[in-house]
Amino acid sequence: MLRTILAYVGQFKRSALMAPLWTALEVLMGVLIPYVTASLIDKGLMAGNIDAVWKYGAIMVGIAAVSLFFGIMSGRESARSSAGLAMNLRGAMFDKIQTFGFADIDKFSTAGLVTRMTTDVANIQNAFQMLLRISVRAPLNVLAGMFMSLFINLRLSLVFVGAMAFLAIALYFIVSRSMKIFTELMHKYDDLNNVVREGAAGIRVIKSFVREKHEGLRFRAAAEVIYRLNVAAETIISFNQPVMNIVTYASMIVLSWFGAKFIVGGSLTTGQLTSLFTYQMQILSSLMMLSMIFVMLTQSVASGRRIAEVLEHEPCMKEPENPLTEVPSGSIDFEDVSFSYADGGNPALMDIDLHISAGERIGIIGGTGSGKSTLVNLISRLYDAGSGVVKVGGHDVKEYSFDAIRGAVGVVLQNNTLFSGTVLENLRWGDPEATEQQCLEACELAAADFVGELPQGLGTIIDQGGANLSGGQRQRLCIARALLRHPKVLVLDDSTSAVDTATDERIRRTFASRIPETTLLIISQRILSIKDADRIVVMDDGKICGVGTHEQLLAGGGIYKEIYDMQTSGGEADFDNL
Amino acid sequence: MFRDWKWTLLTVAVLIVISTLCTLAMTLFTRTLIDGYILPLSAQDAPDFTPLGVALLKLAAVLLLGTAASFFYNFLMIKVEQGTIKQLRTDTFNHLMSLPLRYFDSHSHGAVMSVFTNDMDTFRQMVGRTLPHLFSAAITLVSTFVSMIVLSIPLTALSLLCAAGAMVVAVTMSKFSRRYFKGRQENMARVNGYIEEMVSGQKVVKVFSHEAQAARGFADINKDLFQSVFKANRVANTVMPINAGIANLGYVLIAIAGAYISLHYGTAALTVGTLVSFLTLHKNFSRPIAQISQEVNNIAMASAGADRVYDLLDEVPETDNGRVKLVKSGADGWFWKDGDKLVPQKGLVSLKDVDFAYVPEKQVLYDITLTAYPGQKIAFVGGTGAGKTTITNLINRFYDISDGEIRIDGFNVFDIEKPSLRGSLGIVLQQTDLFSGTVMDNIRFGRLDASDEECIEAAKLACAHSFIMRLPDGYNTFIEGDGGSLSAGERQLLSIARTAVADPPVLVLDEATSSIDTRTEKLIQKSMDSIMKGRTSFVIAHRLSTVRDADYIVVLEKGHIIEAGKHFELLESHGKYWELYTGGKL
């Protein structure tokens, strides 16, 4: 995990190495000061030599100034490298998510991915910066302090050794216990974020049912869990302080006792005792800092693991080694295809055998949950078939590069999304090079000419989720966007449900006359939308239960006839196009 | 914010004072050690160390007390910290829920979430770490200052000079860094917003092989964020070494000055013990200053986050000046309660000369006048953008009208309490937002005190029962908020069941059936018809069957009512409706 994360220091490696180096130099300078002080006291003050005072004083000023410079450099480099690491991690995760299949995204959940890219990365960034600045400073301080103390007085320094051993054991217990809780905590933050997300997204539902308080309680419950875990973790950590204090104080007292005896005995000077006090403080406060780093690291270990999970996740589908980059034609073959969303779950598709030739228009109809969407999602390899083979243009879809297969198969999803930005920007998702003229033509083809009537035309800004457009307008824009790809196969997954029947028919007519070579698959609830298709596929419960023309299927009776009767007897006028 | 914690905080303050004084005892002891024991003992031939031993034991006791005090205040602060942040989180969320829809129209979910995660987190650090540190630093500062004056006034002056220098640095830096931190938080929100949008829309990104472009767009704003983080942290990281430098410099100056004084004016003016003690004190004096400047930085960071939390909290909630309540009176059903007056709830809805605009310059509804008598079914027909949905959003006051009035049972909707108003209207929206929880939880969302049986009954009515029974755990199946495991049709069935269990007197059905297959839809139509019986209903309709038997059909075009009446009346008048009906569209 650590290696995975640290690999992303990348181009900031130089900064990451320079930062501790500067810190080390800063520490070395700092350590010298108390030693020089001892000389100043013993050789200047105690000996009554004012020249020595000036001499040692000047040395100390010099040391302090140099140390300051090193400190500033270290701060700068560590800021750069930690911010850089965060940037690289965010970028890498974002890129990684781009390689995820639908199933991978389902696995991590949107909220989970967002937390990982934000809070977790921030944790790692802070921890890394701490690591660079303090992980070098603290041990070096300890080592240098120890060295200087040993140099001053070997026997008294043994006090430090005892103190450190005690501290190390105590810290071990504190860190290992709090670690577990922090790991759990991160999962609970996911839950909390989820409530916020749903609250913001579903605000209309909440308000229309007057459920603001209810949601508040739900949030409160999630916040309560986080409160309890945080209190538990922090309580364990709060033992740090007293343990530290006790060790510091105990060693101070022991030092005072033996120090006094040694000075009286003549084996130690007053100045040296002063330096020992200073070193002892320095050593122990460095250890304290180290323990703080441990706590921060424990918090970030969980974050790091969650980031690594994303980075190391094997996407559920991969491009082949030497992919085909050209889809020769718009023919589609399903050969004994079965599929289920979860391993061992209920099959969503069973034994599908269907052959569609290029340029054919296929209508697909069937009840809710009958597998219509699942079927078409396999064509552009949004999911991989569980068993059997799906072929487009005569080749298994797994032989193509993603760009090739998805460029050749245009899909207008049932839950179509527009992105914040202008209409033009959204349309250019289809073809980044499309001119405004081409975009307007695509709109015309998709009966989305309303774009011309928008206040800023193609430049009109679309709000997040397309909130400022009606459902029908969104659908038609999505169709236009797909058309700009000039696909060999075009799939409309119930994409005209909010479009009135007249416009729906107009779209289909223009398709027939303007892009006759494109294989067209239309999923619809309306018989009207598909009855002119070359063939109609009727689906029920994951299986194909009828294929044929409108007339053939009507004559055959069954589900198709049933749907037809219901839709015609009730009358099926549409009032969207007044 | 800290009101609930008054007594705890007071205890904490007392404990901090005790712990600080105890720490001080340690520092001052150095002088006693050198001047009171070591130097006199050195002069003796047979030194007696017993008094020193006793003094050290006394010191140990004091220090133990200090340690205990610091342990307890830390412990209490955890509760304050976590409790405050929990309270703030909950308050902020409740506030979020109270905001008008316009807020959600203009703020991305990602930005809202960033307030709850990043901003709240920096805020928590301020409450939990920064404030106690600041307090403790301030106490140390004062007590050290007093001890320093007692020891030596000239050296204290020198020490103060250094402190002043450190102070100036801290203030300048925080002014400097605040701007950067604000930029940092803003860029953070942008990145979060982008992540949220792209990750949610990831399926569309895939379909269009738009991964590279999405990544490129992200790389740009990610780089901006890096720049602002780097700048902000660079400043923050400079504070510590600068202060350490100033402290070191001060240490040196004091050592020189002390030695000079002691040598020139004799040990009567300044003893060795005093100087050694003072040097330690100076370190103690400069450490809290360094700490304070570090914390000031943290506050700058937290306040940028806090600003955004407060921005959210400062957003004006939906106003509700309504006084009329909807109450249930025994077996007689629902009543509007206006003071002492009880008016039976019938479902008479009337709109008079209603104008509306989302933004002032773009009016979307003009002079809408219509009356729905109790139990009537009103159908809105018209093209997309004609204003059908908008009208229904005005009745329940999702948005407030610009002109005219809307009355329910004679009461102006502005006079009705919003919870009562919305509670009396059942709405099936175009967007079927569900919430993480079991299927049963989601149905019960409609009426929280509904029993399991009532929920199942409602599901049967909405024809959701059979598909629910096919789910792995039936009604106890856990569904995610985005309903990923359910089809669009199934989600709609659930949302209809949710409305059915609410049993509202007035219904609004907004294109609810557009993506449900015909067979299911037929069943829903039937069950909806039975729910609509006896209730005033507004239907935004697609199907002739729905429209034909409506009591009143309103034909809308570009925000105007162009025709209204019964099916046959409209046919006779040979207008738009007739045109459509006879236009052979079927």
Is A50 in Cβ contact with B214 (below 8 Å)? no
**CB contact at 8 A, B481 and B434:** yes
E strand residue ranges, A446-542: 461-462, 489-493, 519-523, 535-540
Higher pLDDT, A446 or A280: A446
Residue with tokens 């228009």: A361
Residue B500 has pLDDT above 60, yes or no: yes
Written as one letter, the residue type at B450 is A
Measured between CB atoms, which of A63, A498, A502 is closest to B585? A502
Read off the pLDDT of each residue in A43-60 and give the average, rounded to a whole number: 83
Please indicate if any CB of chain A lies within 8 Å of the CB of B62.
no
**CB contact at 8 A, A396 and A569:** no
Read off the pLDDT of each residue in A11-40 and give the average, rounded to a whole number: 86
Grade residue B580 by pLDDT with cuts at 50, 70 and 90: low
Region B6-314: CATH code: 1.20.1560.10
Residue ranges of domains in chain B = 6-314, 374-389+417-582
Measured between CB atoms, which of A75, A231, A463 is closest to B241? A75
8-state DSSP, A313: P
Measured between CB atoms, which of B203, B230, B517 is closest to A79? B230
Quote the percentage of chain B above a pLDDT of 90.
10
Measured between CB atoms, which of A67, A102, A576 is closest to B245? A67
For A328-382, the DSSP string reads ----EEEEEEEEESSTTS-EEEEEEEEEE-TT-EEEEEE-TTSSHHHHHHHHTTS
* Distance separating alpha carbons of residues A179 and A301, to the nearest angstrom: 8
Read off the pLDDT of each residue in A246-265 and give the average, rounded to a whole number: 86
**Cβ density class B81-119: b for 16+ within 10 Å, e for less:** bbbbbbbbbbebbbbbbbbbbebbeebbbbbbbbbbbbb
pLDDT at B499: 86
8-state DSSP, A384: -
| Alpha-carbon dihedral angle through residues B471, B474, B477, B482, given to the nearest 10 degrees | 60
Helix %, strand %, coil % for chain A, to 5?
65, 10, 20
* Distance separating alpha carbons of residues A6 and A321, to the nearest angstrom: 29
pLDDT at B353: 93
B residues 307-366 near A, CB within 8 Å? 362
Is residue A435 helix, strand or coil? coil
Quote the pTM value.
0.65
Q: Worst-scoring range by mean pLDDT, A118-132, A463-477, B205-219, B514-528?
A: B514-528
The three state secondary structure string of B499-521 is HHHHCCCEEEEECCCCCCCHHHH
Written as one letter, the residue type at A181 is I
Please indicate if any CB of chain A lies within 8 Å of the CB of B245.
yes
Distance of alpha carbon A157 from the chain centroid: 50
How far, in Å, are B37, B97, B418 from residue B90 at the CA level?
A: 59, 11, 22
Is B423 in Cβ contact with A223 (below 8 Å)? no
B residues 512-541 near A, CB within 8 Å? 514-522, 541
The candidate with the shortest Cα–Cα distance to A210, out of B504, B185, B549, is B504
Grade residue B425 by pLDDT with cuts at 50, 70 and 90: confident
B360: its two tokens:
């002032």
Mean pLDDT of chain A: 83
pLDDT at A354: 93
**CB contact at 8 A, A415 and A359:** no
* Distance separating alpha carbons of residues B291 and B244, to the nearest angstrom: 10
Chain B hits for A194, Cβ within 8 Å:
436, 481
* Distance separating alpha carbons of residues B424 and B376, to the nearest angstrom: 15
Is A44 in Cβ contact with B259 (below 8 Å)? yes
Measured between CB atoms, which of A46, A199, A566 is closest to B97? A199
Higher pLDDT, B529 or A346: B529
* Distance separating alpha carbons of residues B403 and A488, to the nearest angstrom: 52
Q: How many CA atoms within 13 Å lie on the side-chain side of B268?
A: 1
Distance of alpha carbon A397 from the chain centroid: 29
Is A87 in Cβ contact with B47 (below 8 Å)? no
**CB contact at 8 A, A495 and A414:** yes
Residue B109 has pLDDT above 50, yes or no: yes
Pairing of strands A409-412, A489-493: parallel
pLDDT at A570: 47
Residue B585 has pLDDT above 50, yes or no: no
Is B197 in Cβ contact with A464 (below 8 Å)? yes
Pairing of strands B377-382, A421-422: unpaired
Q: Which domains does chain A have, with CATH numbers?
A: 2-311 (1.20.1560.10), 332-577 (3.40.50.300)
Residue B263 has pLDDT above 50, yes or no: yes
8-state DSSP, B324: B
Please indicate if any CB of chain A lies within 8 Å of the CB of B249.
yes
CA distance, residue A570 to nearest chain B CA (Å): 5
* Distance separating alpha carbons of residues A425 and A50, to the nearest angstrom: 78
According to DSSP, the residues that pair with B427 across neighbouring strands are B508
According to DSSP, the residues that pair with A462 across neighbouring strands are A421
State the angle between helix axes of B131-151 and B6-31 in degrees (0 to 180), rounded to the nearest 10: 30
Is residue A48 helix, strand or coil? coil
Closest chain A residue to B200, measured at CA: A110
Is residue B214 helix, strand or coil? helix
How far, in Å, are A348, B247, B430 from residue B164 at the CA level?
A: 74, 11, 64
Is A117 in Cβ contact with B200 (below 8 Å)? no
The candidate with the shortest Cα–Cα distance to A38, out of A11, A56, A14, A51, is A56
Pairing of strands A361-366, B334-338: unpaired
Is A63 in Cβ contact with B248 (below 8 Å)? yes
* Distance separating alpha carbons of residues B362 and B385, to the nearest angstrom: 13
Measured between CB atoms, which of B85, B104, B215 is closest to A203? B104
pLDDT in tens, A336-383: 999 887 665 567 888 899 999 999 999 999 877 788 888 998 998 888
Higher pLDDT, A182 or A437: A437
Grade residue A53 by pLDDT with cuts at 50, 70 and 90: confident
Q: With respect to CATH, is domain B374-389+417-582 assigned 3.40.50.300?
A: yes
Give the mutation candidate from A102, A208, A253, A565 for the B interface (greatest B CB count, under 10 A). A208
Quote the percentage of chain B above a pLDDT of 70.
87
* Distance separating alpha carbons of residues B565 and B582, to the nearest angstrom: 17
Residue B130 has pLDDT above 80, yes or no: no
CA distance, residue A7 to nearest chain B CA (Å): 18
**CB contact at 8 A, A149 and A156:** yes
∠A494-A499-A505 over CA atoms, to 5°? 85
Is A570 in Cβ contact with B71 (below 8 Å)? no
Please indicate if any CB of chain A lies within 8 Å of the CB of B54.
no
pLDDT at B50: 87
Q: Please state the length of chain B.
A: 586
What count of other Cβ atoms lies within 10 Å of the Cβ of residue A172?
A: 12
Grade residue B274 by pLDDT with cuts at 50, 70 and 90: confident
Quote the percentage of chain A above a pLDDT of 70.
93
CA distance, residue A320 to nearest chain B CA (Å): 16
Written as one letter, the residue type at B352 is K
Grade residue B252 by pLDDT with cuts at 50, 70 and 90: confident
pLDDT at A575: 45
* Distance separating alpha carbons of residues B195 and A115, to the nearest angstrom: 10
Grade residue B356 by pLDDT with cuts at 50, 70 and 90: very high
Written as one letter, the residue type at A502 is A
Is residue B416 helix, strand or coil? strand
User: Please, which residues have CB within 8 angstroms of residue A233's CB and are 6 or more apart in sequence?
Assistant: A178, A181, A182, A185
| Alpha-carbon dihedral angle through residues B432, B433, B435, B440, given to the nearest 10 degrees | -20
Closest chain B residue to A562, measured at CA: B519
E strand residue ranges, B236-390: 325-328, 334-338, 341-344, 349-359, 362-372, 377-382
In this predicted complex, what is the ipTM? 0.72
Grade residue B352 by pLDDT with cuts at 50, 70 and 90: very high
Please count the residue pairs, one from chain A and one from chain B, whose beta carbons lie less than 8 angstroms apart.
509
Region label for A381, one of left (φ > 0), alpha (ψ between -120 and 50) or beta (otherwise): left
What count of other Cβ atoms lies within 10 Å of the Cβ of residue A51?
A: 9
The candidate with the shortest Cα–Cα distance to B327, out of B348, B344, B352, B306, is B344
pLDDT in tens, B64-87: 998 898 888 888 888 888 888 888
A432: its two tokens:
């980044």
